[in-house]
Amino acid sequence: MAQLALLDPDEPGPVTLDNEAGSSVFFLTCDHAGRAFPRRLGRLGLPESETLRHIAWDIGIAAVGRRLSRLLDAAVILQTYSRLVIDCNRDPNVLSSIPEISETTEIPGNRGLGEDARAARVEAIFRPYHNAIAAALDRRAAEARESALVALHSFTPVFKGVSRPWQVAVLFNRDRRLAHSLAELLRAEGELFVGENEPYAVSDLTDYTVPVHGEQRGLPHVEIEIRQDLIADSAGQEEWAERLARLLPTAYAQLLGQ
């Protein structure tokens, strides 16, 4: 039997790709940009208040990504749906890609999902998003354009009651070069407490975008995490976009010079 599509034709698609022809080497991704829910899923049984919290999306990062795209003249790709529907930075074969619990919140609509229900989310959201990234990177390669992957995220200042002191973190897995250069430049700003693989690191199990689109293609890459309270309003979003637009090209130049 044909599987019922998760998204109706009048619902937003999972992918927004802006400024693809931009001149920058940087290719920006925002896996957790949006907090939409497919109509068929309601809000997964959650009150609206939970869908505004960090468990549903990366607060502030879509605006930072769009501003950074303009400042660098870089392509940016953003994912529309809440990570509670499916986490687009996690291998869909990992059970927590559709979490039954996030931080301390139980997600009723994710409890005991069958294979068909999981597959419908993968096919409607995860697959088109990552296919769009792959296709865009393929087009750049075909045009002999260089690409450096910048995966943008934001993190909650307090997780399970524990405060996080970092304002910003750079994360990496097997290749720390671009991340480490950027971390040093961020520290040189003088006022920032910069995490390197803190509060968490990139791994094949907990991440997808950097391992698959960065590492497997051999592209320079960095995952950047900004603390959410710093980019909750437009002044903070502008400040962080401006800072990254200033520092990323220097970090990349350092990498080329190595």
Which one, 149 or 255, has the nearer CB to Zn ion?
149
Q: Which residues pair with 149 in a beta bridge?
A: 27, 221
Identify the residue among 14, 35, 58, 168 touching Zn ion (CB under 5 A).
Answer: 58
Which one, 153 or 221, has the nearer CB to Zn ion?
153
Which one, 157 or 249, has the nearer CB to Zn ion?
157
Which one, 32 or 67, has the nearer CB to Zn ion?
32
Alpha helices (H) along the chain: 48-51, 61-72, 115-121, 127-142, 177-187, 209, 234-257
Cβ at position 64, least distance to Zn ion in Å: 12
Binding mask 108-147 for Zn ion (x = CB under 5 A): ----------------------------------------
Reduce the DSSP state of residue 134 to 3 states and report it. Answer: helix
Cβ at position 194, least distance to Zn ion in Å: 18
Q: In angstroms, rounded to a whole number, what is the distance separating the alpha carbons of residues 149 and 196?
A: 17
Q: Where are the beta strands (DSSP E) in 123-218?
A: 148-155, 158-159, 162-163, 168-171, 194-196
Cβ at position 188, least distance to Zn ion in Å: 26
Contact between 248 and 240 under an 8 Å Cβ cutoff? The reply is: no
Which one, 82 or 181, has the nearer CB to Zn ion?
82
Q: Is 194 left (phi over 0), alpha (psi -120 to 50) or beta?
A: beta
Scan residues 140-199 and list those touching Zn ion (CB under 5 A): 153
Identify the residue among 26, 27, 32, 38 touching Zn ion (CB under 5 A).
Answer: 32
Q: Which of 79, 95, 96, 88 is nearest to 212 (CA)?
A: 88
Ranked by CB distance to Zn ion, the top (closest) residue is 153
Reduce the DSSP state of residue 1 to 3 states and report it. Answer: coil
**Total residues interacting with Zn ion, rule: CB under 5 A:** 3
Residue ranges that bind Zn ion, judged by CB under 5 A: 32, 58, 153
